[in-house]
């Protein structure tokens, strides 16, 4: 009898713990300098990724809290448990996958170059040899350029500061993801985008390695694709 009582007690505790974790806030790290995925609109963090993760939170029945961090501080913040998830237009790379777990991808992107309007258009990254290319610290574009020793790279903390350097002639071009490049060039009449041969990059949400949350999100992402919610958010941010 005593044993049955003990087992029931344990079961009740497991049930309670489960309900507590289910309604627990999920803290999501991002870097709000990557429009249209995440950016500040009158001090509010908005964008495609933010809306996507808010919807995921709704479907998980857990509130979402967004934390704005520097891009290169995101993976360390996840590792020390300051945040539970990362959504930041982050490319799933084998190197990052050593430290974090990734969901299935939710967006496919490419790297492009931004140059001044009067510049000759390079077709391949190799043609940039001897030139100075602005890269954003820790971005995948940074990794591509840094691999080619003949290209001089200048590292910047934000896309915005790299754009300033390009406008003032400190660098000849900037390498950055396609969608943010479009949104920055739309606001800079003296600049243009040059498509280059570059590999596809897949954005995914990151969480702690082997976290069950990642699998739950995969199920939700598939549902959102099927029921049209994903397309609705795409239409809102990519006109």
For binding to ligand GLN (CB under 6 A), which residues are involved?
A: 31, 34, 71, 88-91, 139-140, 177, 201
Minimum CB separation of residue 71 from ligand GLN in Å reads 5
Q: Which is nearer to ligand GLN, 84 or 177 (CB)?
A: 177
For the chain, the helix, strand and coil percentages under 3-state DSSP, each to the nearest 5: 40, 25, 30
CA-nearest of 81, 27, 28 to 209 is: 81
| 3-class state of residue 132 by DSSP | strand
Minimum CB separation of residue 142 from ligand GLN in Å reads 7
Q: Which is nearer to ligand GLN, 71 or 230 (CB)?
A: 71
Minimum CB separation of residue 182 from ligand GLN in Å reads 14
Minimum CB separation of residue 89 from ligand GLN in Å reads 4
| H or E, element range at 101 | strand 101-109
Q: In 74-103, which positions are buried (b, 16+ CB within 10 angstroms) versus exposed (e)?
A: bbebbeeeebbbbbbbbbbeeebeeebbbb
CA-nearest of 81, 97, 125, 98 to 202 is: 97
| 3-class state of residue 30 by DSSP | strand
Q: Which is nearer to ligand GLN, 6 or 68 (CB)?
A: 68
Minimum CB separation of residue 86 from ligand GLN in Å reads 10
Q: Which is nearer to ligand GLN, 41 or 227 (CB)?
A: 41
Alpha-carbon gap, residue 171 to 166, rounded angstroms: 5
Q: Which is nearer to ligand GLN, 60 or 194 (CB)?
A: 194
């Amino acid at each position: 009898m005593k044993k049955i009582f003990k087992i029931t007690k344990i079961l009740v505790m497991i049930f309670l713990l489960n309900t507590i974790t289910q309604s627990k806030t999920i803290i999501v790290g991002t870097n709000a300098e990557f429009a249209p995925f995440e950016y500040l609109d009158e001090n509010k963090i908005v964008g495609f990724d933010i809306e996507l993760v808010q919807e995921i939170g709704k479907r998980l029945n857990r509130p979402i809290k967004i934390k704005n961090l520097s891009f290169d501080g995101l993976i360390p913040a996840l590792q020390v448990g300051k945040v539970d998830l990362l959504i930041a237009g982050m490319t799933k790379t084998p190197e990052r996958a050593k430290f974090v777990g990734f969901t299935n991808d939710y967006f496919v992107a490419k790297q492009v170059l931004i140059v001044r309007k009067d510049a000759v258009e390079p077709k391949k990254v190799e043609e940039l040899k001897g030139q100075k290319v602005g890269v954003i610290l820790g971005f995948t574009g940074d990794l591509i350029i840094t691999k080619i020793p003949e290209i001089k790279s200048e590292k910047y903390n934000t896309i915005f500061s790299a754009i300033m350097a390009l406008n003032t002639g400190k660098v000849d071009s900037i390498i950055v993801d396609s969608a943010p490049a479009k949104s920055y060039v739309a606001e800079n009449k003296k600049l243009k985008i040059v498509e280059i041969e570059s590999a596809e990059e897949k954005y995914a949400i990151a969480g702690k390695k082997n976290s069950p949350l990642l699998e739950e999100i995969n199920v939700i992402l598939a549902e959102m694709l099927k029921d049209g919610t994903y397309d609705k958010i795409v239409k809102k941010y990519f006109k």
